[in-house]
Structure 1
Amino acid sequence: MLRSSTIRGPGGRMQMGREEGGGSSPPSEEDRLAALRRYAVLDTPSEQVFDDLAGLAVRLCGTPIALISFVDEQRQWSKSRVGFEAVETPRQFSFCDRAIRQSDIFVVNDASRDERFAASPLVTGPPGIRFYAAAPLVAPAGEALGTLCIMDRVPRELTPSQAHSLRVLARQVVTQLELRRRSLELAERERLLRTIFDSEPECVKLLDSDGSVRMMNRAGLKMIEADSLEQIAGQRLYPLIAPEQRAAFVALTDRIFHGETGSLEFRITGLKGATRWLETRAAPLRDEAGEVRALLGITREITERKKADAALRESENNFRMLFEQATEGIFVTDPEGRFVDVNPAACTLTGYTREEIAAMTVADLVLPEEVPRVASAIAELSAGHVITGEWRARRKDGCIYIVEVSAKRLADGRLRAFARDITERTQLQAQLLQAQKMESLGRLAGGIAHDFNNLLTVINGTADFAIADLPDAAALRDDLEQIRLAGERAASLTRQLLAMSRQQILKPEVLDLTAVVRRMEGMLRRLIPEHIDLAFSLSDPLGSVNADPSQIEQVVLNLAVNAQDAMPDGGTLTIETRDVDLGVGSAAHPNLAPGRYVLLSVRDTGMGMDEGTRKQIFEPFFTTKEPGKGTGLGLPTVYGIVKQSGGGIWVSSEPGKGSTFTIHLPRVDGVPREAPSAHPAVPVPGTETILLVEDEPALRALTKRILHSAGYQVLEAANGLDALRLAEQHRGTVHLMITDVVMPGMNGRELAERLSRFAPRMRVLFTSGYTDDSILRLGVLDDASRFLNKPYTPSELRRRVRDLLDAPKP
């Protein structure tokens, strides 16, 4: 056990200390430091209660110095000091470091004679300590936190009375430390509770029995527009509540103070005038004896909910009004398809009264052959899918009509459908599809005319030269005249083709798509301007499909024209065919059944489309072309043909990256019938010193011959770049340039503009076999005197050249 005793130590000092005698071990240094941290006393400002105890120690013990000190890992720090300057001293020189190891008073009578302290700076220098006595400050759990010590600059003895005073005062210091710790802990708990209280996003309040406010958090103060709790503490909230709801609030308060719980929705006007709807949930707050001492209320703002409720009621009213006044038929059924409600337009659509329809099902309104599709649609709707479709139905008077339906499942499980009669629209669609076909045929006719015009220029021009070289009585002269006459008639015929389109009856048959595209190659090369490269990637052999050849040709033509329009500055148009097999659950083509298909794709390197445009391209009348340049029916026509052929069509496109249209048609067994091969494609055109630019060799040779025969010097070039090099290398004057308008790489208009920079007085004659609309886009019809349409005769060319050369200089 531990016991106190008086020991005469070195230097004649008296030490009252502890001796080991058994019992439990003292707390470890780690535990002692942890306890010291819990009291949170280090490095805090001085406090009067501790200063008073230090002063009392000086008076009772008659010493000039007294300290209340605490010892941490490195130092002795003084909370209160009397007669001592330093706030802290290193632990290694500290008397208190020794004192905290004792169970009772630790005394050093003369430190200068004590080998443990004689060399300490506190002894050898200021303040020159000689006498030291201290009582340890022992926490309730036994940890020695520090000391209450007295010191003197002269040696002396500690009397028993003084030792007793030190012990009593040390216990008072510990008591004050405990009170201080508990006060700090209580303040921290209160701070945490207040933080939680104020951080609650909903209003939390305590009300007294008369309805006055005892406490309210920040959210509540904000809710009633109070700047502080003091502004409303002790005041009733009743004046803020809407007059018609005050009685209900008072009744709720009474019920709470009678031990009940409750809730209430009410409207308040805040202290600054803002109106809010609130919902409060209240319960009694009881003391330890179970008595109700306050009303605890949690309140949240429900203004937006009230607005939403009002908006919902208004929406329901508006919906009912729209339901009754809608021009489309609206049908509401149960999950089995029995009618629950219909609007007046639905009665008009079907010819039945509302009462008659209420006794019917959806299957009663459609034709018998449509019933399986209707049953399938109801199943899809019940599974949560949104459906759209077209059904053939019969009115009460027996009239058959086509109805377009868009339906979905409502939140309560019922099914709602919007329906409209599209019989007339369906009839118009057939006419519109025909109009689109006419548009494509018109483009085809233009391309054919262009190619024919090149051919006819060569044929007629060569015939003219041959006739001119023969004597009048030559036997071949009549034959050549017939050739020239036929050529003139052919030129007239091409002009008629530009204005002609005819309706045709089309029938599906077994087709080889590669063969179809190859037959169209000549047409396509005539249709697509030469500044666009036309490429083919066609599989051979290829599986067969069952489709109308004319429709498939229209699909290819429409997609090719669409690709051409997407590349006004040129590019590459690629048409591909190949066999594909689609497996179960193909992510790229979810709407196609697994199986064998033939793929047809048309890819361009044009301007591409954004997502908004891509979503609408198959909608009728949607077009990105300027007014008058398209009907918006080309791609919808393609979509309809593909769907009617049992296939699918997809488009992938990004702005600036071109577009690819991919079609899948089911493969079938069977052998396609033989088809005639397409006519070979023929290229396009080209007179002092004349620069002749024409990319078609035969036409270039004929034109050169015509000009030579008239005495002109001719420089000939096959394209724009060759013409530029030739003009730059020529030493003399180029008086006139004859150029084709549409050529690969550089068109005639661009060539003329570039040559005018170093030959500004050079005249230009443009020629083309395209229609006016084709060349109008290149801006060469501003001056009709500078344009010569193909086919032309040698005399027409000579005359136009002469007219241009003889015209007044600009």
Structure 2
Amino acid sequence: MSAALDLQPEPPVSARALLETTDWSATSLGPRENWAPALAIVLDTVLDSQIPKVLMWGPDHVMIYNDGYREIAGDKHPAAFGGTVPDVWPEIWDWNRKVIETGLAGQAETYRDQPMRLFRNGAFRYVVFDLFYTPIRNSEGAIGGVLCTVIEHTEREAARSGLRQSNERFRAAVAAIHSTLWTNSAEGRMSGDQPGWAALTGQTREEYEGFGWAAAVHPEDADATVVAWNEAVAARSTFVFEHRVRVASGEWRTFSIRAVPIIDEAGALREWVGVHTDVTDERLAQERMREHAGVLERQIRHRERAEEQLRQLNETLEQRVAQAVDERRAAEAALNRSQRLETVGKLTGGVAHDFNNLLQVVSGNLQLLLKDIAGNDRAETRVRNALAGVSRGARLAAQLLAFGRRQALEPKVVNVTRFVRGMDDMLRRAIGEGVEVETVFGGGLWNTFIDPNQIENALLNLAINARDAMESQGKLTIELSNAHLDDDYARRHEVAAGQYVMLAVSDTGSGMSPEVIERVFEPFFTTKAEGKGSGLGLSMVYGFVKQSGGHVNIYSEVGHGTTIRLYLPRSTEREDQEVEVDTGPVAGGTETVLVVEDDEEVRATAVEMLTDLGYRVLKAVDAQSALNVVESGIPIDILFTDVVMPGKLKSPELARKAKERLPGLAVLFTSGYTENSIVHGGRLDAGVQLLPKPYTREALARKIRHVHANEAQANGARKALHGPSLAPAAPGPATPAKSGGTGAGAGATVPEPVGKGTILLVEDDGLIRMNTADMLKDLGYVVVEAGRAEDALTAIQTLPFDALVTDVNLPGMSGTELADEARQVKPEVGIVFATGDRHVAGVTPGADPRVTVLSKPYGMEDLEGAILRVLASERALA
């Protein structure tokens, strides 16, 4: 067994390992300890990137690349590492020599869909690359080499899928008229997958290849069929014939055959497309007519009708084939455009990820520095200016993520009419007084399921683009209407058929040419003067709408303005109400936080911020190291982990395993961009908490308190349900004993109850709701439960109740909105807000004795104290 294990192939050598072990003194770069700091910094960036990159450095262009480039190098790796470009890629040296000379002259270059012929993996192969060349300067400021970013998309499986669908539609049309479709090569040989012929005859691919199909033809008809077929191939003319074929059941059937040559634009014969139409019944009918003279006239009419149908079918076959070919070409062109944007989207998403990590380091250290220089007004101003720059960088990264469809959307049910009207003042300030604004709203507009912040940014971007196109003088029209995209439109524009809300923005500006329209959604493409625009506005709009399941359509003519239509997915749900963000003071804690982050600088910044907030902090460089810490038995309260993590063990799996070992563990993810591991359909998975990078100290503090408090409350409910053996200790146990928690009732003087009553309990977490209801019942109250504010509205209107206990952050309508609705029905009712934070927006402690805040985690005594206080105040006012 050990000998067998020794024969297993060794894992690929990593680029970073090669950097350490290569004898650089044998190259023009010299010993590594003599390398300039600038080169070391560049190499760290290259090796850390997940996108294939190769640095060509020095006078003889020594190659140093990252792990992503190993796929490009193929079997040339690892020998290519440290080699020179002419030696590694001699077959394309003429190409590389020119681009390197251009790069050394200080000019960056980009080549998209660049075909090349490479010798790799033992053979010459044709490949297609996107290539991005960037000159890199050394410590003295001179250009020392050229960095090349490579994206290979030789295989276009998606394109073949589109073509396959077109072919399947054509085959379905043929099948509908009881025919079998087949194709032959230009030389007249059958090859490749022929599902129609295989289903008809039962032949396998090996059996029908070449002229093997003739074996299924009746022996008396086979020779004549082959001769007639070869004559048609030689003449490149339509083939019409009739013969008998043994079908899969073993029966001989008679078929009428018609095949046409497909000629390409250059006049070359590309392939043959033909059909076998079963005419056995017609031929048998002819036989019966000869045998039964008495019914000859009726049989002749039947034959004539059948032959007329066959003639009409044959006459339209060329048209059907041409139509199918046109559809296939159109599908291929649309797919090519989509793939081009998808490729650029992947690149920009990766760039945004790296950029957000850098911004997190800068932002975190600036916020920590702000505390150190408190009282120095001049220094504080400079640091705040720098933080404003970080915010602008974060917005830029967010636009890149929007185009790449890698942002974590938070869609809500939105009434777009009310939403657009609410933006009226903002739009008018943004576009100026010289632009006339007209809004047109259709009647009975549907709600839409969309991220409100993103649609606000999209509409603002479209309005500003329109203003610039009109040079701040003209008319801007915003139109809203219901729309239905049918199957034909959906098939041609890569969108799901169905109902949408259409938001159109039209201007009277300069318009765009077809060439500009073709590229208008590409990131960084702009027709504005240098410094007047980033070229990301429309890219962001396109990516956001596509990620949301919608569609973007643009119509423009030079000199006649532009109209951009956004088709937003319809929702049949009730409109969600916006929840105000709490702006009260932030608080830290003393719990233990395990920080998992592979970027050393980001990790150090997060650790320092959490330590500054009072937490005990442990740290790990990857998911496996973090799991080792968890399994060591060290008490941990909160797991704070990056989503994108090196190694086989990924962050979501780490979180799952950690919670198996520590059931009361709170988990908070962070990331510079979203991954499919926690985001599906553009939305965070249920129960997942995410803090996007770059984040502020305040955002980190609030999110940590929220996830810990909510988990603690849920853990208390689990203990009450299953017993303490299934969950570790947590603050606020659901027992009648003193909880020791931080709820509003802890340590407070509780008035004696005037009498038990009915409590309306609203909580979306099922475990917390069940546990809290049990506490209230044990305290002697009648409990009416609801999982959503919308469900509670019915109870408010129909049932008597004495107090409302509600979570603040509910799906749809918020707890504060629900409390307002309850006060409309019962003005003096007591309100208890249960929340994971210590502050509720719009609620001032002590301002209204009928309102109190119950902080999670809470126990039975905290809960009873909060209810008794609001009931006593309510009855005092009654």
Name the TM-score, length of structure 1 as normaliser: 0.27
Q: Which has the higher helix share?
A: 2
User: Radius of gyration: which is bigger?
Assistant: 1
Name the TM-score, length of structure 2 as normaliser: 0.25
